[in-house]
Structure formats: C-alpha cells, structure tokens
Amino acid sequence: MTPELKSEIDDIIDEFDLLGDWEERYRYLIELGKALPDMSDDERIDDNKVKGCVSQVWLVAEHDSSAPRRLMFRAQSDAHIVRGLAALLIRLYSGRTSDDILAVDARQVIREIGLAEHLSPQRSNGLNSMIGRIQAEAEAASAH
C-alpha cells in the first residue's frame, strides 16, 4: 500500500472520528453521496448495475493510460446511504492501481469508522457487492 493511500485511509478514519455518534456519521455519509456527480441515462444500463444490491447501484470503471495503469470509478445509487457508501468506496479506490485496490480492505475501514455495526444486512450485502465489483475490475485490469 502506498503512503498516499495509507494517508487517505487515515484521513477518512480521522474525519469520522470527529463525528459524535452513528447518526452524525450517517448524515456525513449522506452528504458524501450527494457530492457524487450524476450519471447519464446512457451509463445507467444493466451492464453497469451492481448485482446483489437491493437498491439500484451503477458503477462505471475506466482505465487511464498512465503507467502503472490506474482505475477510475464513478457510481450512482437511488438510495442515500448506499450512495454515500459508494462515494466512500470511490474515495478509497478511484485513481489507484490494481495492486493498491486489491491491498485495501474497505470492510475494515468501514468497521474502523464505526459504520459496520449500524448497516442493515441489505446494506452490508450491497456494500460487499460494490467492493466485489471494484476488486473484480482491478483483477481484470492487472491480468492485462
């Protein structure tokens, strides 16, 4: 894991540590989700839909041409908290190499910021589906 990525994870943990209770953390998560740019109708297609989420979630992965190649992610959801979780994952993973993406345990970060125990089983499943999709994109990119 690069020092830059470690620093970003530490920043996320510190931001959530400043918040009092889990309700404040949820509100902050929702605000993160509101900051995600909208996706066009052309991007809200079945191929971009994350399977395994109760909410509708679309995830687009793009590869840049740098060396080493980095993956850029964009996401959107029709549910506020899921959209916030997607925003958090994008912050963790977007602009990273496949190796960095595969080195990050987003579930551990979610536990460390105090959200894991407050996610419903459906949201936890959706989170796992988003993480799985991002990791699959990274594995496919590293195979090329």
Count CA atoms closer than 13 A to 40's CA, side-chain side.
Answer: 2
Count CA atoms closer than 13 A to 56's CA, side-chain side.
Answer: 9
Q: What is the pLDDT of residues 72-122, one digit of tens each?
A: 999 999 999 999 999 999 999 999 999 999 999 999 999 988 888 888 888
> What pLDDT, on a 0 to 100 scale, did the predictor assign at position 10?
93
> What pLDDT, on a 0 to 100 scale, did the predictor assign at position 67?
67
Residues annotated as catalytic (active site), given as ranges: 53
* % of the chain exceeding 90 in pLDDT: 63
Q: Do the Cβ atoms of 78 and 55 come closer than 8 Å? A: yes
